[in-house]
Amino acid sequence: MSDPKLTDRLLFLYEAARTLSTSLKTHDVLQMLMSLTHEHFQPDAVSVAIVEPEGYLVFRAASGKSAQDVVGMTLPAGTGIVGWVAKHGKTLWVPKTQSDGRHYNGVDRKTGFHTDAIYAVPVKVGEQTLAVLELINPLAETSLSELEEVMPALASLAASAIQNARLFEQVQQAEERYQRLFDLNLDPIIILDPEGDLLEINQAARDLLPLSEADKGRSCLAELNITPPRFYEMRERARDGDVVTWEFSAPAKEGGASPRVLDVNMSYLSHYPPNGAYQWLGHDVTDRVALEQMRQQLADMIVHDLRNPLGSITNSLELLHAAWVEQDDTVPIEQVLGIALRSSQRMERLISDILDMARLQSQEKTISIAEIEIPPLIDEVLEMLMPSAERRNHTIEENIQSDLPPLWGDQDVLRRVLLNMMTNAIKYTPNGGTITLTVQANAEEFYFAVEDSGPGIPPEERQHIFEPFVRMRSGNVKGAGLGLAFCKLAVEAHEGEIGLESTPGAGSTFYFTIPRNLDEDELVFLEEVEEETWKKA
């Protein structure tokens, strides 16, 4: 004849096993464990304390009197009966807690609860104690034998459930971390199945391409500019261990960013369920491609700008050589020499702009401060430019203050600033136009301005006009785009400011200021020089 109590205990443990296996959340498992224990034994209270990796204990679940005060309470490692059980991994029955030195009454003091007896059992996986289940003040009729049979079995069931829940949560957390890293990656990433259907897409890819989460499960090869045969060929290469790479141009999205150029690689993800997957990873190289194009354009422009004057010099020398050999006195020697001289000066200016601009940017060039008389400097610049202006039938007007004081600065550098500004005005002013040079001074600064009657500069180009290699897109004027960039660096080296005012179709005014009192300690130095090589302003 079967024992009814034994049957009840077996039924309880069966129900406990079934209940504890219904959740993969640690919090839920602990709540179930506590509730099952309380319902079966009807003690004054039940608590479950988790052993944290650092060794201290945290009460994560409790029922009965003062339960709300117990949950969240923390005890140092080894504290109280619960700490002893966690440390030694052994079940402990304390029928009279007040006479047991291991009892910690701090919890009673904080909660107002009175603990008379405790049955505590470790919840273990192997030799590791995950938690401690405490039954506090059991009913008088509860037999110790029943506690010894049921509580360890219940703890064993709970251990498996807690371990499974923890492992599941760790996997979930790892997946969430991966998903966050995947979605927040700055590079666009797309996961494709073996047929080219979209499995996953991160935010960068959604921003770049006309694809969204709603497109999962359908082919996205067209958006990636990949034909099915090409995808199958790349797929086989990737399965063989190759990383397939190519360049991809992403068209501009409606209302979105401008077209982008990407270096793309595709690799095989063998462990992606169910049949593996293929990762499409793009790296934005638009700026690098643009820089390479700009460098090529710069090289072409420099070659062009050097070839023309060099050709003029070569032709002039050949003409003079032929005249000398043939004793031909009809050749206008002075005019031919003038052409060669102006061409060599153009080459020298371009080379100097390239070299000095690099030195100014890297702070390896010094400006040599000296007293400059402005009228002779203006005359020198205009004398150099007058042949170009006369060939275009330009009128150059001067608005020069009559009583200009001397300016402290680098005469060679400022001469080239004025020369570059005036040369630009001559280039962009139509034949027969007017160019006005203004120089004024007040108590704080000198003001220089070059006003032309050219096409003007569109607003969208003005913010970049002083950058290296930038030229106006309108017109057919050739050049390397270095003149104004040099002007900006040179003026700023003098602690001055540079700018422009322009009205499209009505010309432009480029201006700069130089302070009257330069502070030599704040000047830009670009190479090591002895102090005596420059004068104090």
Q: What is the mean pLDDT of each run of 10 residues along the chain (537 residues)?
A: 64 76 79 82 86 89 81 89 91 89 85 87 88 88 85 83 82 80 86 93 90 92 92 92 90 69 92 88 84 68 70 84 83 82 78 66 66 92 86 92 91 88 89 93 94 85 71 49 78 90 86 79 38 32
d(CA 13, CA 30) in angstroms, rounded, equals 16
d(CA 347, CA 353) in angstroms, rounded, equals 10
Q: Strand 118-125's sheet: what is its strand order? A: 74-75, 57-64, 45-51, 128-136, 118-125, 92-94
Residue range 186-284, CATH number = 3.30.450.20
Q: What is the pLDDT of residue 439?
A: 95
Indicate the pTM of the whole model.
Answer: 0.45
Do 489 and 353 touch, CB atoms closer than 8 A?
no
Q: What is the pLDDT of residue 255?
A: 56
Do 495 and 413 touch, CB atoms closer than 8 A?
no
Q: What is the pLDDT of residue 325?
A: 84
d(CA 37, CA 142) in angstroms, rounded, equals 13
Q: What is the pLDDT of residue 471?
A: 57
Q: What is the pLDDT of residue 277?
A: 93
**In 21-124, alpha helices (H):** 26-41, 67-70, 80-88, 106-111
d(CA 286, CA 217) in angstroms, rounded, equals 30
d(CA 100, CA 116) in angstroms, rounded, equals 11
Q: What is the pLDDT of residue 305?
A: 64
Q: What is the pLDDT of residue 285?
A: 86
Q: Tell me the domain boundaries of the chain.
A: 4-172, 186-284, 287-537
- For 4-172, the fitting CATH number among 2.160.10.10, 2.40.40.20, 3.30.450.40, 1.20.58.1910 is 3.30.450.40
Q: What is the pLDDT of residue 533?
A: 29
Tokens of 269: 């993800």
Same fold, 186-284 and 287-537: no
CATH class belonging to 287-537: alpha beta
